[in-house]
């Protein structure tokens, strides 16, 4: 009978300083339903999704036709981000060249073709295969 009463009573815990006291009651967890878009916002904040992918996801959610869904999925797979990244790299190179011309004048070394080369004599293209310069290449 004493064994049953000890099971039903509150167990006593001993702390590091040797004092005995009952354990603290379990903490109440503060759970709530996620707000609309909260997971997407967190994925963007932690770098798991880029801005183009977030916009593509929003387009996919509100898509009415199969063509709209198809376009949103194509944006979501990252091709558009790679294309924009290639354009960004070309703009940075053009800006660097313009700054060099401004800083150092019309030096002959700056007028040489300083496009990137892959070793086979072929210019390196961006992932999208499109140039923002059209037929004009930065010098």
Residue pLDDT, tens place only, 43-91: 999 999 889 999 999 999 999 999 999 999 988 888 888 888 999 999 9
Q: Which residue in the block uniquely carries the two structure tokens 């354990």?
A: 23
* Burial status of residue 56 (CB atoms within 10 A of its CB: 0-12, 13-18, 19 or more): buried
**Is the predicted pLDDT of residue 10 greater than 60, yes or no?**
no
Q: Residue 19: count other Cβ atoms within 10 Å of its Cβ.
A: 8
Instruction: Kindly report the pTM of this predicted structure.
Output: 0.48
Tell me the mean pLDDT in the region 90-101: 92
Q: Which residues pair with 20 in a beta bridge?
A: 14
Residues 101-139 have pLDDT tens digits of 888 876 656 555 555 555 555 554 544 555 555 554 554
| Token pair for 121 | 């004599």
pLDDT confidence of residue 118: 52
Please answer whether residues 115 and 137 qualify as being in contact, where contact means their C-beta atoms are separated by less than 8 angstroms: yes
pLDDT confidence of residue 109: 61
pLDDT confidence of residue 74: 87
Q: Which residues pair with 21 in a beta bridge?
A: 13
Question: Nearest 10 degrees: CA dihedral of 43, 45, 46, 50?
Answer: 70
pLDDT confidence of residue 105: 77
Pairwise CA distance, residues 72 & 55, whole Å: 8
């Amino acid at each position: 009978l004493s064994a049953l009463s000890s099971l039903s009573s509150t167990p006593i815990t001993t702390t590091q300083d040797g004092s005995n006291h009952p354990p603290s009651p379990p903490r109440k967890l503060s759970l709530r339903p996620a707000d609309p878009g909260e997971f997407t916002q967190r994925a963007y904040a932690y770098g798991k999704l880029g801005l183009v992918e977030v916009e593509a996801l929003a387009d996919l959610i509100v898509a009415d036709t199969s063509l709209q869904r198809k376009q949103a999925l194509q944006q979501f797979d990252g091709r558009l981000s790679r294309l924009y990244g290639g354009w960004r790299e070309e703009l940075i190179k053009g800006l660097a060249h313009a700054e060099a011309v401004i800083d150092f004048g019309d030096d002959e070394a700056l007028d040489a073709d300083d496009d990137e080369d892959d070793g086979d004599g072929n210019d390196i293209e961006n992932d999208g295969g499109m140039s923002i310069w059209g037929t004009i290449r930065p010098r």
